[in-house]
Amino acid sequence: MISFRKRIIPVLLLHKGQLYKTVRFQKPVYVGDPINAVKIFNDKEVDELILLDIDASKKNQEPDFGLITDIVSEAFMPIAYGGGVTQLRHAEKLFYNGVEKVVLNTVLLKGFGLVEEISAKYGAQSVVASIDVKKSLLGKKKVFSHASVSHKMESITEFARLCESKGAGEIMLNSVDRDGTYSGYDLELIQAVSAAVSVPLIACGGASSKADFSSAEKSGSSAMAAGSMFVFQRPHNAVLISYDV
C-alpha cells in the first residue's frame, strides 16, 4: 500500500508580540519568543506553519508587519498568517514579505468581499477561511467570534460552503471547546463540514497524539493542525517544541 505523508501543521498564537497558547481560546500561557520557535520548527523540517495573531481583530489593529517579516525570514517552509487582515493591501504586504497564505476569520463574518478580492488577484490557494466553532449554552454548535462580532451565520456547513464559493482555497475548522484540551478532534464536525465542501479542510483543536491525526483524516480532513501538542510536554505543560508526527 502506498502511504502518503499526512499534512500536520503546527499552529502558533501571537499575543502581545510573543507566543502564547490558550485553552478554549482563553487563559493564554506564555510560550516564548516567536523568532526562535519558528527557527526550531524550521530546523525540524516542518512542512508548513500557521501563525495567528489573536489580539489584532479584537483590538482592531493591522497585522504587525515588522514582527511577521522577522519571523517569516527564519522559515523555509510556507507560512499562513491570520489576524487583523481586513484589506487587500494587508494581504499584498504579507505576500510581499514572504507569507504564503492569509487566514481570514473575523472579517468573514462581516462579508465576503475580501475573500473574493484576494482570491481573484492571488488565486484561491492563497486564502484560508477560518471558522471557529463553539457549543452554545443549549449545546448546539455555532460559529463563534473571538472578537465578539455579531453575525447571522446560523449553519456551520452553510457558512463553509459560502466561503468556498467566494474563493477560499482551504477551510480551517477550529473547535473552540477542544482548544488546548488534548481531548481529540471533533470528528463529527469534521465529517459534516468535509462532506459539505470540496476544498481541503484543516482540522484544529484537541489534538493529543498521532492517533488523533489518523482519525481526523479518516473523518475527511486533508490536514491536521495542532498547538499544545507541539509546544508543551505533559503533565506540567512544560514548554518544549517538538514535532513527532
CA distance 48 to 10: 7
* Strand, helix or coil for residue 37: helix
C-beta closer to another protein: residue 4 or 45: 45
**Catalytic option among 53, 55, 132, 179:** 132
With cell 463553509, the residue in question is 160
47 an active-site residue? no
Chain-centre distance for alpha carbon 152: 22
Peptide bond into 28 cis (omega under 30): no
CB of 80 to another protein, least distance (A): 22
CB of 49 to another protein, least distance (A): 14
* Least distance between another protein and beta carbon 16 (Å): 9
> What is the helix (H) or strand (E) element at residue 128, kind and residue range?
strand 127-135
Measure the CA–CA gap between 66 and 71, rounded to whole angstroms. Answer: 9
Pull the grid cell for residue 177.
471547546
Contacting another protein (CB under 8 A), which of 39, 93, 135, 151?
A: 39
Site residues (CB under 8 A) for another protein, limited to 58-87: 70, 73-74
- Identified binder of another protein from the candidate list 26, 27, 43, 188, rule CB under 8 A: 43
Interacting residues with another protein (CB under 8 A) = 17-18, 30-33, 35-36, 39-40, 43-44, 70, 73-74, 233, 235-236, 238-242, 244
